[in-house]
Structure 1
Amino acid sequence: MKVKGSLIKLIVFAAVTLFATSILALTIANIQFGSKATYTAVVSDATGVIPGQDVRIAGVRVGEVSDVRVAHDAGSDGANAEIDFSVLKSSVLTQGTEVTVKYRNLVGQRYLALTQGAGAPTPLADGATIPLSRTHPALDLTVLFNGFKPLFAALSPSDVNELSGLLIQTLQGEGGDVNTLLAKTASLTSTIADRDAVIGRTIDNLNAVLGTVDAHDQQLLSLIDQLQRFTSGLAADRETIGRSLSGINTLSAETADLLVSTRPLIKDDVAQLRTLTTTLNKPSNVKEFESFITGAPGRITTLTRTATYGSWFNFYLCKFDTRSPILPGVSPTYDVSSARCQS
């Protein structure tokens, strides 16, 4: 009898545990039992809405989205979307029901919120369509959160998540009230106020930078004006620059080919250059080389003047004499006293 009593207690405990676990699993999975009615909502923006997302009334899940597609009716021109969703029949929708696409979280997930509008309380038939006039797009939080950017920059990620959640819940009529939101914002702004010294130094540094820029405003304007003229000139010569780049590319390729073909000769010249410098560095050759370098400019100038006619040298005879007679008693001489022979 004692063993039988323990077995009964074990069976009862297992049954209760299994039942509680099942209830918990159904709650976590949002599984709903009961017959459902299907409806279609026409919306102007269904971005982020996908099958399986929640349909809620006063924040309570009463159904889910089953399909999203582009509306093909004659009046929409493909600019609207149709959302099919199911709702438990125990949650009766009426002719005044309004559908709003709302943000579920900051990740961008959406859900459909059903509210009772000003229309007639007549129940909607299963399969009815809620027109565009009674549907609303998601609340655009972009502008709102942009206004809080300076605040978010000084907060930790957990504070940002908490404040963002309060904003969404307050603006969508769920969760906390405005007082809670203001209290949280006040505590966060107090944290920022504690950093007033850092903010003050930043402002002082910005004032110094702006003061320097203001003191050199004419130079800055001149720089901007010159930069504008420079860019305008580049824009006007863009075709010429393009052709030049093409020519530079061709020149680079031909230079590379030239270097490839002349590389062995250059290598030999570099090797012989060492031999030349060694020879010139000998003491017996240094004096001769210095004398050549010293007199080279004058000789080169004279040689250049003589060779100005091209491929031949032009000489002018200024003086001629003989040291021995050509004929007996005859030693001819020739001397010109013109200006060109006086230099």
Structure 2
Amino acid sequence: MTKDANHGPLWVIGIKSLVFTVVTVLATGILAMTIRNSSSGEAVEYTAVFADATSVNRGDDVRVAGVKVGTVLDVAVTEGRLARVRFTIRKGVPVERGAVIQINFRNLVGQRYLAIKQPGSDAAGTTAGDPVPASAATMVEPGHTFGLEETRPALSLTVLFNGFRPLMRLLDSDDVNALSEQILAVFQGEAATVEGLLESTAGLTTTLAEKDEVIGQLITSLSSVMQTVNSRSGQLDTTVRTMQQLVSGLAADRAAIGGSIEGLGELTDRVAGLLGDTRPSVRRSIEHLGTLSETLDQHSTDVERFLNLLPTKLDRIGRTASYGSWLNFYLCSMDGRIPLPEGYMGDVGVKPVAGRCR
């Protein structure tokens, strides 16, 4: 029999090689199954519709009470706005009617998994007390589709952080920076520990406790404002209704209002044109009025004497004319011109027709 000088007979070497190969293949298979995150055994397929299935990927776990019982097959968009998730559950695992499919965080880096919460289970998915065996009538049929009322999306951290934003404004900037650094360190996989994160959270809680008086005053003031608004609710309703009626009336009369605005603009243009046409005549009249005023001022003595004697003269002339036909007064003619908007100077007057006026 052939024999190796260093390792003994060849059949021994062959057995060792065969054992090594089998162990290596088994270890590789176990590692591949672990990486694929697949479940062994016969499985039943189900479908769930979510309003938001962000970060849910093929191969993610499906768990009941924290135990993996299935795998996510695929995720697709349905109805243009919803997410349809197909997954499997190991055959023999009961899923009762009324069960809720919840998307939970698997770890701090954002991976998700589907948690099946049976009716009567707590937030963690475990059933309080001794479990009651489910009958076939209360079981979900294979291939069942869980609608939106039977699914819950994952918690939105953006909404959570936005909700705490008003409180964050009251915190000390150093505490907020320290907490942010710890959170970023955890998500980046650096050397920061959970203990440091808890210490920062404790500091944050302490700061909030120190600001409780400010928060209380804010809530009290807000309560007073709401009470005042509530006490004036009738007036507020009346104001809103009146405003609504005003806006509705303006909307109904928008054509008339628009026509009025157009007419007002046209009237403004006409008035501007009229003033432009009459401005030279008015300017000349004012200049002549100034000349007349200067002349009257220069002869103020004569004007004053005339005005003083005018009543006496009119009285004597009236008496003379009343005793006989010694004085006759006739209006033989009158002439004048009136400026028209079109610029034509119209003639106005009375022409002499009687023989005494010729």
TM-score, scaled to structure 1: 0.40
TM-score, scaled to structure 2: 0.39
Bigger radius of gyration: 2
